[in-house]
Copies of this chain bind each other. A is one copy, B any other.
Amino acid sequence: MSITKGEIRSGAYYDSVILMQLQRSLVGLEGVIDAGVIMGTAANKELLEQSDLLAPEIQEAGVDDMVIVIRAEDESTAQFALGEVDNLLAARRSGGIEQEYLPKSLETAFDMMPEAQWVLVSVPGRYAAGVARQALDLGRHVFLYSDNVTLMDELRLKDTAAEKGLLVMGPDCGTAIINGVGLGFANKVRRGPIGLVAGSGTGLQQVTVRIHQFGGGITHALGTGGRDLSDKVGAVTARQGLDLLSRDPETKVIVLVSKPPAKAVADELVQAARRVGKPVVVDFIGYATSMRKVDNVYFATSFDEAADLAVKLSAESAPNLAETELEEKPFAEGQRYLRGLFSGGTLAYETLLVLEEYLPAVYSNVPLEEEYRLADSLVSREHTIIDLGEDEFTVGRLHPMMDNDLRLRRLEMEAEDPQVAIILLDVVLGYGAHPDPASELVPGILAAQKQAKQAGRYLEMVAILSGTDEDPQNLNAQIEQFEAVGVKVFTSNDAAAIHVGKLANALDPDLPASKTEPLTEVDLKALTQPMAAANVGLESFTESLTEQGAKVIQVDWRPPASGDEKLMGILERMKNK
């Protein structure tokens, strides 16, 4: 037999550490079987019910009420335990904080420690935005641990922060490592050349841990809060973080970790990552990608892979960011389009896929999306990739791998177009294919080059040679024939596609720059100055910063206009012990 008794203390505020400690102390009393000390939310009451702790007298408790429930062997024990609550609260000692005077406000805290650039906020959600706003108004960066902060508050805070060149990491930001000091939940990891930005708390922790375990090290790890990468927030903090790490001379490799962001945000972040001039490992966990790498951006799909890639990249002396350095080419005004004339359908297909990363629209008779289907396969439009091996071209006609007649006619047409800058051809060798494709194609290429030159233009001719040294045509002999007339030859279809994609991208005057507003630059000192912070909320965070050798000042925060004066008085005395 057991009896459950409860008590409501209206409008009493205690931080959750105190609630937990009180609950444990109550469970420790003789004759007490179980106890619950919580704020009276519906979810918490459900949890009490599940543990057989929902005493009838606490049904009425609201979100601002502290609820204490005891299950004991008999009624008198339960009553005794409830009667002990005040004593237990009074006996509770402030953990490891050794601070002579606890400032009541952020202003006072900064008077005491003007070098504090950071404010850690872990008060209950509905008060957290207010504290964060004060911090921003006082020109400080915010680490906003609190959850249950509204989206609207997040938007307002980040708007202000972006304007002022300040960071708001969070809300619901579990972790960060700034200049070697962990904020919130953070692991002790080796320092090193890898910087991280993450919209996911334990994701960021796990990647830093694995980097450490794989022998790498961390410059800074910036949390953004999970909602930062949503459509509405638009990754304000993530973009600030990426920008900071791109300017940080100690950071050689950047890792971006997040649950899958909104598509538009993901695209924008990847574009931003491509501009930072450092290798960036992107792990949008479980976000399906069809590419492994675009320029300096590497896609990972798991924490372990992200960590492994980052460590390997950071170990490279000079990561090779641009496989193809674009030389100056004597293009004429107006030359800008790519035309690819393929005999191999899948080579055309892979080329289209790669080009998606470099060009906004590529037309084709085998397009990736219907909107880019050529109205007439016989007439190119802007950037065009044609598969001349498609069924429409092969009725009563040899496949273009055997007969280049159609390609040669098309090549002549493309070369006449004054907007064409690059012509890409595939040449597939092997049994069954033309015995000497170069002998057919080279004269056509020469004629095209000549025609362009006479009109004052330059044509970049690129060929993918697919074949082996043992093929009847002999790969190297074919390559030599193409190279002899100035054709740039690739044996990798990917590499050829990347080359023409970059070149066409560089020639395109209309490519949109970043669609998002530029943000006010955050001073790099945010990261490089020794950590000094004010902590508002969980005292354990102050302890943790002190343990790590950082400067920290605990603010004696309490909710505005809070109730239960008696308990507040006890709390006050506890604090001053």
Q: Is A403's CB within 8 Å of the partner chain B?
A: yes
Residues on B with C-beta less than 8 A from A340 are none
Q: Does A5 belong to the interface (CB within 8 Å)?
A: no
Taking a contact as CB atoms under 8 Å apart, the answer to whether A344 and B206 are in contact is yes
Interface size on A, residues (CB 8 A): 107
A431 and B188 contact, CB distance less than 8 A:
yes
Q: Give the residues from 174 to 188 in chain A that come closer than 8 angstroms, CB to CB, to chain B.
A: 174-175, 182-188
Q: Which residues of B contact A38 (CB under 8 A)?
A: 396-397
Report whether A124 and B292 are in contact in the complex, using a CB–CB cutoff of 8 Å.
Answer: no
Tell me if B397 and A430 are in contact (CB < 8 A). Answer: no
**Contact between A431 and B203 (Cβ–Cβ < 8 Å)?**
no
Assembled-state Cα–Cα distance A187/B368 (Å): 28
Decide yes or no whether A130 CB sits under 8 A from chain B: no
A428 contact set on B, CB distance < 8 A? 185, 202, 205
- Assess A398 versus B16: contact at CB under 8 Å? Given A286-B349, A470-B189, A494-B304: yes
**Which of these, B125, B391, B430, contacts A188 with CB under 8 Å?**
B430
CB of A468 within 8 A of CB of B209, answer yes
Closest CB of chain B to A554's CB: distance in Å?
15
Bound CA span A398–B537, Å:
12
* A-B residue pairs in contact (CB < 8 Å), sample of 7: A47-B393, A50-B413, A63-B395, A182-B431, A189-B470, A201-B344, A285-B346
Q: Tell whether, in the assembled complex, residue A288 and residue B286 are in contact, meaning their CB atoms are under 8 Å apart.
A: no
Known: A187-B471, A431-B547. Is A301-B305 also a contact (CB below 8 A)?
no
- How distant is the Cα of A206 from the Cα of B495 in the complex, in angstroms? 13
Q: How far is the CA of A393 from the CA of B41 in the complex (A)?
A: 10
> Is the C-beta of A200 less than 8 angstroms from some C-beta in chain B?
yes
A197-220, CB < 8 A from B: 200-206, 209-210, 212-213
**Cβ-based interface call for A360 (8 A):** no
A384: B residues at CB distance < 8 A: none
Q: Counting CB contacts under 8 A, is A492 at the interface?
A: yes
Decide: A17 near B185, CB < 8 A? Known: A47-B378, A287-B290, A492-B210. no
A493 within 8 Å of B by Cβ?
A: yes
Contacts A43-B392, A51-B409, A396-B44: A468 and B212 contacting too (C-beta < 8 A)? yes
Whether, in the assembled complex, A102 has its beta carbon less than 8 Å from a beta carbon of chain B, the answer is no
Cα-based distance from A290 to B20 in the complex (angstroms):
40
- How far is it, in angstroms, between the C-alpha of A377 and the C-alpha of B547 when the chains are bound? 36
Is A148 a contact of B187 with CB atoms below 8 Å?
Answer: no
Q: Is A405 an interface residue (CB 8 A)?
A: yes
Chain B: CB-nearest residue to A198: B346
Within 8 A of B (CB), among A512-551: 540-541, 544, 547-548
What residues of B have a CB within 8 angstroms of the CB of A392 in the complex? 43
Contact A468 B540 (CB under 8 A): no
Instruction: Judge if A46 is at the interface, Cβ distance under 8 Å.
Output: yes
Distance (Å) between the CB of A548 and the closest chain B CB?
Answer: 7
A346 touching B491, Cβ below 8 Å: no
> A289 contacts the other chain (Cβ, under 8 Å)?
yes
* Contact in complex: B394, A148 (CB < 8 Å): yes
Task: List, in ascending order, chain B residues with CB within 8 A of A148's CB.
Answer: 391, 394-395
Question: Are A544 and B395 in touch, CB under 8 angstroms?
Answer: no
A470-B495 Cα distance, complex, nearest whole Å: 43
B209 touches A20 (CB 8 A): no
* 3 nearest CB pairs, A to B: A39-B396, A202-B344, A288-B288
